[in-house]
Amino acid sequence: MNRKELIEQKKKQLYFKKLMESMNAITTIKIYESGVERDFYKSIISSYRELWRKSKWEACSKLT
pLDDT tens figures, 6-63? 888 888 777 877 777 776 666 666 655 566 566 777 777 777 777 777 765 555 555 4
What is the model's pLDDT at position 38? 67
**pLDDT at 43 (0 to 100):** 76
Distance, CA of 43 to CA of 35 (rounded, Å): 14
What pLDDT is recorded for position 63?
47
Do residues 35 and 3 touch, judged by C-beta distance below 8 A? no
Judged by phi (left if over 0) then psi (alpha if -120 to 50, else beta), residue 23 lies in beta
pTM: 0.35
What pLDDT sits at residue 31?
A: 59
